[in-house]
Amino acid sequence: MAETIVPMTFDRIEQCVELYINVFNKEPWNETWTDRTAKERLMDLMHTPKSLGYLLYDNDALIGFIAGNSKQSYGGFTFYLAEFCISNQIQGKGYGSKLLLYLEGELKKRDISSLYLLTANGGLAEAFYLKNNYTINENRVVIKKNL
């Protein structure tokens, strides 16, 4: 395998949309993304100030991507990981950890001091982050209201 990691760019957005739909419309997420809604979400993210993302290729096939944006906080810059997906066929084989570690290295180069993300309680996604030395922040809670 010839794996490469490259910056996320607008000219590669269609590949990201296809992968996004293939990952998140299946187990365990079972979401209902369309081409239009997935593209709008990813384009919005890429237009966010201080956005940063990377694509993971195996030869010429996109197999994963990771993206978010940084914001100033009282203790320095914090990165908010908004999107992260790895092709269903290769999940559990170390590609996600490789891409996550790459992002962490890039964030350190930019003096970003912390990374936050949201994921589902329990399940494989939470286990993945815990395995990669992330911790559950006991000082925060996610609150929502359906309108």
Helix axes 35-47, 13-24, angle to 10 degrees: 120
Decide: helix, strand or coil at residue 4.
Answer: strand
DSSP 17: H
Through-space distance between the first and last CA atoms of the chain, rounded to whole angstroms: 47
How far is 78 from 124, CA to CA, in rounded Å? Answer: 25
The verdict on residue 105 lying in a domain is yes
DSSP 136: -
Per-residue pLDDT of the chain (147 residues; tens, 9 = 90+): 589 999 999 999 999 999 999 999 999 899 999 999 999 999 999 999 999 999 999 999 999 999 999 999 998 999 999 999 999 999 999 999 999 999 999 999 999 999 999 988 888 888 889 999 999 998 888 888 899
Which H or E run contains 98?
A: helix 95-109
Count of domains forming the chain: 1
CATH number, domain at 16? 3.40.630.30
Contacts 24+ apart (CB under 8 A), 120-129: 120/28, 120/29, 123/28, 124/28, 124/91, 125/28, 128/96, 128/97
The verdict on residue 145 lying in a domain is no
For residue 94, the enclosing domain spans 3-131
The verdict on residue 141 lying in a domain is no
The verdict on residue 53 lying in a domain is yes
